């Protein structure tokens, strides 16, 4: 069976697709889709395409950081 070749679609530099962004965050694509539907994570709309800036994903990670507890030491 011949391998299907997908034509390259140019995209703006620095933007990630759903699978790339989900992989970067370590979550499933469906979870990321759910989060975007409730605007939990920032995204960019280009026409009908939804994409993610890595800097926005890094900011999302930073805002969800939980500091270690100081155990009186």
pLDDT at 8: 57
Instruction: State the DSSP string of 3-69.
Output: PPPPPP----TTEE-HHHHHHHHTS-HHHHHHHHHTT-S--EEETTEEEEEHHHHHHHHHHT--PPP
pTM of the model: 0.75
Delimit the domains of the chain by residue range: 15-63
Express each pLDDT in 1-52 by its tens digit: 566 665 555 666 789 999 999 999 999 999 999 999 999 999 999 999 999 9
């Amino acid at each position: 069976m011949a391998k299907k070749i997908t034509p390259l679609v140019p995209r703006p530099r620095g933007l990630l697709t759903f699978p790339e962004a989900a992989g970067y965050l370590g979550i499933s694509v469906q979870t990321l889709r759910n989060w975007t539907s409730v605007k939990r994570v920032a995204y960019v709309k280009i026409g009908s395409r939804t994409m993610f800036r890595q800097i926005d994903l890094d900011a999302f990670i930073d805002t969800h950081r939980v500091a270690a507890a100081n155990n009186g030491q």
